[in-house]
């Protein structure tokens, strides 16, 4: 198994992409810590991991609050003795709006969770990784960081900020054998996408139609698609890969998506 004897922290791991990554890592022998504000769903995901005979734990944490982040990392180290892998997946979506419609409060909240949360988690875990001279940090950005499909400037700005954080941190931590990379998911329908579904429209039909034009592969993606990329970056298959990014978008934003 690719992640035997490894310990991973997955923020926002209760559902969606985070859950898909958590289950994939557990299948590969990893002990998984789910960090989320969704307590019931987080514990349910951990139970799925335990039911597979793997080791898992849940820690409630609001990643935008430094005290909670530090407490979460401390609990992981106390229980498992180490943290080999950090997946910064926690985030919220932004409803498409013009810049003139986005309030300062909306801007601050989204960047506090999506970008500041990534910074705080990295800041708290890095000393432990440096001490052991090993670590894998995977930051979830978005295709919207480089090719936004609709105007969501606060969301796109936060996800673009994650790319900057990733390459800078990769440079700093490379001498310590710590790899830092980013994944840019494309159209991966999760609960975060629900507000985009028009009233009275079947969600599956809606996303199937989006998939026809969202990517050259003519389908939307799944959490499992992202989990495969995360597994590569978390394993020794990518031991010489750092400061890089992987687009998981079925070929988007290639020009070919507009061709018939």
Tell me, letter by letter, the H, E, C secondary structure of the chain.
CCCCCCEEEEECCCCHHHHHHHHHHHHCCCEEEEEECCHHHHHHHHHHHHHCCCCEEEEECCCCCHHHHHHHHHHHHHHHCCCCEEEECCCCCCCCECCCCCCHHHHHHHHHHHHHHHHHHHHHHHHHHHHHCCEEEEEECCHHHCCCCCCEHHHHHHHHHHHHHHHHHHHHHHHHCEEEEEEEECCCCCHHHHHHCCCCCCHHHHHHHHHHHHCCCCCCCCHHHHHHHHHHHHCHHHCCCCCCEEEECCCCCCHHHHCC
Active site (catalytic) residues: 155
Structure tokens at 60: 């409630």
């Amino acid at each position: 198994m690719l992640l035997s004897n490894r310990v991973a922290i997955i923020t926002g791991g209760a559902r969606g992409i985070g859950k898909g990554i958590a289950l994939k890592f557990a299948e590969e022998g990893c002990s998984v810590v789910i960090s989320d504000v969704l307590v019931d769903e987080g514990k349910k995901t951990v139970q799925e991991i335990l039911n597979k005979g793997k080791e898992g734990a849940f820690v409630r944490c609001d990643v935008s609050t430094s005290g909670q982040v530090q407490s979460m990392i401390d609990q992981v180290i106390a229980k498992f003795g180490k943290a080999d892998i950090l997946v910064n997946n926690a985030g919220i979506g932004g409803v498409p709006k013009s810049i003139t419609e986005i309030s300062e409060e909306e801007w601050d909240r989204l960047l506090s969770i999506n970008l500041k949360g990534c910074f705080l988690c990295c800041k708290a875990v890095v000393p432990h990784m440096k001490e052991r001279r090993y670590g894998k940090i995977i930051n979830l950005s978005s295709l919207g960081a480089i090719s936004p499909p609709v105007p969501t400037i606060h969301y796109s700005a936060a996800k673009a900020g994650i790319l900057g954080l990733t390459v800078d941190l990769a440079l700093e931590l490379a001498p310590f054998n710590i790899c830092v990379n980013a994944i840019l998911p494309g159209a991966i329908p999760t609960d975060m996408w629900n507000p985009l579904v028009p009233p009275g429209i079947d969600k599956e039909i809606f996303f199937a139609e989006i998939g026809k034009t969202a990517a050259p592969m003519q389908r939307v993606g799944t959490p499992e698609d992202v989990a495969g990329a995360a597994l590569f970056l978390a394993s020794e298959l990518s031991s010489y890969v750092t400061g890089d990014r992987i687009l998981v978008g079925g070929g988007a934003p290639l020009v070919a998506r507009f061709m018939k």
